[in-house]
Amino acid sequence: MMIAHEDWADISGYIGITPRTMKRFISEQYNKGYLYQKWIRGVSYSVLTVPGKKRIREIQTELEGFYLTPLEHSVPSPIKLVTILKLINNPFFRVFLINLFLKRNDFDIIDTLKTFEILENDTSVYNLFENVDLFKGHISHSNFVHSFMEHTLYGLESEKKGSVENDKDRSYQVFLVDADLRVARGRFQEALDLYNSIIENKGLPQDIWFLACIGKIRTLGKMGNMNEMEKTLEKTRSKITNKMVNAYLLQLEADFLGIDGRVERSKQLFESCIGTFRHYNNPLFLSIAYNNFGILMFNEENYSEAERLWKQARKFARNAKSEYQEAIVLTNLASIMRRRGNINKSIQYLENAKKIYSMSKNLEKLADVEFNFALVYLQEKQFDIAMDFFNRSMLDTFPFLSENMRTERLSVLSREAEKIKYTPQKNGTNYKLVYIE
């Protein structure tokens, strides 16, 4: 293991200490003989020695004895800390979780893992707008990460001491992530109240205000409050002059108008924002727009147009080098192939999506893929295989699946199974298919 000396300051943010304290700690590890310095092409690295590797193995053995519990960490049943660590791809996040476990008696591991996913996802607003000219140098992924880390480690105690209160921008970032977590859990009114409390603050930096508006718009859409959503969109657009950002807002409106049944207007808005994204040559924004446009067409049962749009979305995801976005599109393309009876192609798309999510250890998305496999094999009347995939998507693949998502998946499976006169029935912790007489 090698770590560049300049990276130690970043790592300090993940364990809640100052860069100076981290520097002193690293010095001690050199003195103990656990690390040595190595120069590569003018860059100084810290490298583990043989005693250092031995000490790491000892720490790993100690970690085997730590458990997360239902009472303290909101898990369904006791689970080893090392089991959770294996679910996390980002090594800095693993370091943070160990530190969090050792420093706090209780915390919500489900919210913590969901936050990691939000902050890692390159299509989330925290990363999507980082390089847009309007917000360049203001919206920063690392700022959000470190704000979340500090708040989670020290909570209200640090705010009383002033470490968060003295940096208003960072405390607002924490509230934004908190609101997003509430949306993910279906607690829409709580999220809306948080977004409103941020927006109403005078003198708010434009980037924070904008992200809060985006969150409010999405939440209102999910609540079905289209009138208020459109008013908020219009008000937000009136204060934004950047054409790219305005096109993104149009895309949000198109998404929810489609859900609301205003299909023709939704199509017009998608075409408009795609034109803007093409003009500015932004492949990631193009991929997201084409993908969402494809969902609109799929829901309208225009499968040939949905396939065309999703193929465009995949092309631009590749141009943007966003494997996460490509995997989302692949899962959608698999649905088209399943509808058409092209089972081999559907499975191929799902296998490719599974490979991408497996590499990033995105287990929530892996569960989505497992669920889609279940629908494929259900259609083929290979019931044992179908239910094996379905039960994994509900239990094994992502052990912290929300009850809302469990209910939704069961509803979709029931609907598809009824077409062939079967229904899912609970059998212990799993489900099995039963023929409807």
Q: Could you report the per-residue pLDDT of 226-251, keeping only the tens digit for each?
A: 899 999 999 999 988 888 889 999 99
Q: What is the pLDDT of residues 124-176, one digit of tens each?
A: 776 777 666 555 544 555 555 666 666 666 553 334 333 334 445 456 777 88
Could you list the pLDDT tens digit for every one of the 437 residues in the chain?
A: 678 877 787 777 777 777 888 889 999 999 999 999 999 888 888 999 999 999 999 999 999 999 999 889 888 789 899 988 988 888 888 888 888 888 887 888 877 887 777 777 777 776 777 666 555 544 555 555 666 666 666 553 334 333 334 445 456 777 887 888 788 777 899 999 999 988 988 777 788 888 899 999 999 988 888 899 999 999 999 988 888 889 999 999 999 899 889 999 999 999 999 999 999 999 999 999 999 999 999 999 999 999 999 999 999 999 999 999 999 999 999 999 999 999 999 999 999 999 998 887 777 788 899 999 999 999 999 999 999 999 988 875 555 566 667 888 899 999 999 999 999 998 888 899 999 87
Inter-CA distances, 78 with 70, 74, 115, 400, Å = 6, 10, 21, 12
**Nearest CA among 141, 188, 118, 185 for reference residue 365:** 118
- Report d(CA 235, CA 155) in Å as an integer: 33
Q: What is the pLDDT of residues 266-306, one digit of tens each?
A: 999 999 999 999 999 999 999 999 999 999 999 999 999 99
Select 2-112's CATH number: 3.30.70, 2.60.120, 1.10.3470, 1.10.10.
1.10.10
Start-to-end C-alpha separation, the chain: 62
In DSSP terms, which residues pair with 79 in a beta bridge?
A: 68
- Report d(CA 120, CA 322) in Å as an integer: 12
- Report d(CA 208, CA 203) in Å as an integer: 11
Q: What angle do CA 345, 330, 380 make, to 5 degrees?
A: 40
Inter-CA distances, 368 with 190, 231, 289, 365, 428, Å = 26, 33, 21, 5, 22
**Nearest CA among 320, 276, 269, 275 for reference residue 296:** 269
Own/partner pairs, 219-222, CB within 8 angstroms, 24+ separation:
219/179, 219/183, 219/188, 219/191, 219/192, 219/195, 220/192, 221/252, 221/255, 221/256, 221/259, 222/183, 222/188
The pair of structure tokens assigned to 37 is 């310095």
| Confidence at residue 407, expressed as pLDDT on a 0 to 100 scale | 83
Mean pLDDT of the chain, nearest integer? 85
Q: Are 350 and 366 in contact (CB under 8 A)?
A: no
Length of the chain: 437
Sign of CA dihedral 188, 190, 194, 200: positive
Q: What is the pLDDT of residues 43-53, one digit of tens each?
A: 888 999 999 99
Burial 197-215 (b: 16+ CB within 10 A, else e): ebbeeeebeebbbbbbbbb
Residue 357 CA to its chain's centroid (Å): 12
DSSP 68: E
Amino acid at the residue 397: T
Judged on CB neighbours under 10 Å (0-12, 13-18, 19+), 318 is: middle
Per-domain boundaries in the chain: 2-112, 113-241
| Confidence at residue 105, expressed as pLDDT on a 0 to 100 scale | 76
| Confidence at residue 291, expressed as pLDDT on a 0 to 100 scale | 96
